A and B are shown apart, each in its own frame.
Chain A
Amino acid sequence: MYNAGKIIFGLLIFLALVTFPFYNNIGKVSAKPEPKIDTPEIQKLPENERKCVEPKDFMRGEHMQMLNDWRDSVVREDNGIYMSSQGKQFNMSLQNTCMKCHSNKKEFCDKCHNYMAVAPYCWTCHIQPKENKS
């Protein structure tokens, strides 16, 4: 091998970059986010009706899309009533619908979002539910 010093130095940098996610996580335990749904509003519902606007699997993936659609529908089309696939009606509102049931933003929305490192900018205008700081 020629120029061994420089070659090995370069390869070490390459290895350090490629394996970064591996050694960066050594000794760290990664906890899955467990959003809590034990809010008073949800507890009030009868056991078999403790459901979200749409089925859970759908909400998990599509809730941001749904919020965007709701926003457009309310702000641009002046239509504030959402008909769910279960045939239930909901008032399309971030604060008055989602956050009424999910009044525990820190224990619910933020659990996932912090894990994913997303910070929805909605709360610069919309008011967060009042919670005990924990």
Chain B
Amino acid sequence: MKIFFPLVIVMILVLLVFAGIKANLYFLFGVVIPYAALAVFVLGFIYRVLKWASSPVPFHIPTTCGQEKTLPWIKQNKIENPSSALGVIIRMALEVFAFRSLFRNLKTELRDGKIVYGSEKWLWAAGLAFHWSFLIILVRHLRFFMENVPVVLKTIEGLDSFLQIGVPLFYMTDAVILAAVTYLFLRRLYLPQIKYISLAADYFPLFLIFGIVLSGVLMRYFFKVHIVGVKILAMGLVGFNPDPKILSEIGAIFYVHLFLLSILFAYFPFSKLMHLGGVFLSPTRNLSNNSREVRHINPWNYPVHVHTYEEYENDFRDKMKKAGIPVEKE
């Protein structure tokens, strides 16, 4: 159920596009939905971040794994246990660009009645492969949105198609992302513990991304669409001046690609995908470990309201006297 429900949803979404194309709803699928999805994405993202920012983080709670700054003759691990802003920035950069904490992933096994820990790098490798190829693919798509494509983008594209296999040139990231998404899915299916904790909300983005990648791959290498038309549409969209005439010339599979992407964008702020913003706001990562150096003051109850004995006696003096309890002041 947790697997089939999201799978069926994605299939319905794809069928919806074909039905929409049949019914000539090009403007809806090509213009209205993409704009709406982008708006939901941007506003939803900002809303989520502001909501997070409204929770105070009173104490520094980094989860560290290195020697803390201490006596001068004990060597501090400046990155794993940072005490300065620079250390935090390096630690965050390693986390964001290289998934440092996932690199430490361990596998626990019972062997001959003993618990043994082994290194487990597959998730890290697949996660890294997935995210980096996703980023490269995203950046590559910028060529559809600019008149004069800068050399950087052409270089990225050139490196990605460096093997010069086939025409149109085969992109390595296309294969990498397909393999990585497949691995990330099979992992949830085959490892019993992971399967147990996986929810529909874990499978849905996987299926959605798989659908987006697959439709893109099919469109580039197999069922060709009017690519110049795609760029004319994209340029029209970013110029707020889309050309309605081009919409019907492009080809259905492009709309599948675009619609699934729109769904992903609209779904993004309300899902676990928000870890894009969340990683920067993780208090266990983005704080320095200086709890012993700096006094951290709890923002929500400072100055601490204390009720002294004198005040207490003032409140209850009459009652205390009635009950025969001695008081300090008459």
Residues of A participating in the B interface, judged by any CB pair closer than 8 Å: 1-4, 7, 10-11, 14-15, 18-22, 24-25, 28, 30, 32-33, 57, 60-62, 64-65, 67-68, 71, 112, 115-121
Residues A21 and B145 in contact in the complex (CB < 8 Å), given A2-B55, A64-B167, A65-B167: yes
Q: Could you list some 21 contacts between A and B, CB below 8 A?
A: A1-B54, A2-B53, A2-B299, A7-B53, A18-B38, A18-B41, A18-B42, A22-B240, A24-B145, A28-B147, A30-B232, A60-B228, A61-B225, A61-B251, A64-B168, A65-B167, A67-B167, A68-B166, A68-B167, A117-B143, A120-B167
For this complex, into which size category does the number of interface residues on chain B fall? 35 or more
Residues A21 and B277 in contact in the complex (CB < 8 Å), given A4-B53, A61-B226, A115-B231: no
Q: Is the CB of A65 within 8 A of B235?
A: no
Stretch at the interface among B43-51, B65-73, B181-189, B190-198: B43-51
Q: Give Cα A7 to B50, complex, Å.
A: 8
Residues of B participating in the A interface, judged by any CB pair closer than 8 Å: 38, 41-42, 45-46, 49-50, 53-57, 142-143, 145-147, 149, 153-154, 157, 164, 166-168, 224-228, 231-232, 235-236, 238-240, 251, 277, 280, 299
Name the one of A3, A32, A112, A119 contacting B53, with C-beta atoms under 8 angstroms. Answer: A3
Q: Is the CB of A7 within 8 A of B147?
A: no
Q: Give Cα A25 to B225, complex, Å.
A: 25
In the A-B complex, the 8 residue pairs with the closest CB atoms: A61-B224, A21-B145, A117-B149, A68-B167, A30-B235, A7-B53, A21-B238, A117-B143
Q: Give Cα A120 to B169, complex, Å.
A: 9
Name the one of A28, A61, A71 contacting B227, with C-beta atoms under 8 angstroms. Answer: A61
Residues A65 and B142 in contact in the complex (CB < 8 Å), given A10-B49, A30-B239: no
A-chain residues with CB within 8 Å of residue B154 when the two chains form the complex: 117, 119
Given contacts A33-B228, A112-B228, 11 further A-B contacts (CB under 8 A): A2-B53, A3-B53, A7-B49, A7-B53, A18-B42, A25-B239, A32-B232, A60-B228, A62-B224, A65-B224, A115-B231
Q: Is the CB of B53 within 8 A of A25?
A: no
A-chain residues with CB within 8 Å of residue B235 when the two chains form the complex: 25, 30
Residues A116 and B228 in contact in the complex (CB < 8 Å), given A2-B55, A2-B299, A24-B146: yes
Name the one of A10, A11, A25, A115 contacting B238, with C-beta atoms under 8 angstroms. Answer: A25
Q: Is the CB of A117 within 8 A of B153?
A: yes
**Shortest Cβ distance from B30 into chain A, in angstroms?**
16
Q: Is the CB of A22 within 8 A of B167?
A: no
Closest chain B residue to A30, Cβ basis: B235
B-chain residues with CB within 8 Å of residue A119 when the two chains form the complex: 154
B-chain residues with CB within 8 Å of residue A20 when the two chains form the complex: 142
B-chain residues with CB within 8 Å of residue A116 when the two chains form the complex: 143, 227-228, 231
Q: Is the CB of B45 within 8 A of A14?
A: yes
Residues A14 and B231 in contact in the complex (CB < 8 Å), given A2-B55, A117-B149: no
Q: Give Cα A46 to B232, complex, Å.
A: 32
**Shortest Cβ distance from A73 into chain B, in angstroms?**
13
Q: Give Cα A59 to B46, complex, Å.
A: 45
A-chain residues with CB within 8 Å of residue B46 when the two chains form the complex: 11, 14-15
Q: Give Cα A31 to B147, complex, Å.
A: 9
Q: Give Cα A12 to B108, complex, Å.
A: 42
Closest chain B residue to A28, Cβ basis: B147
**Shortest Cβ distance from B299 into chain A, in angstroms?**
7
Q: Is the CB of B232 within 8 A of A11?
A: no
- Residue among A7, A10, A15 with most chain B CB within 10 A: A7
Closest chain B residue to A3, Cβ basis: B53
Q: Give Cα A14 to B299, complex, Å.
A: 27
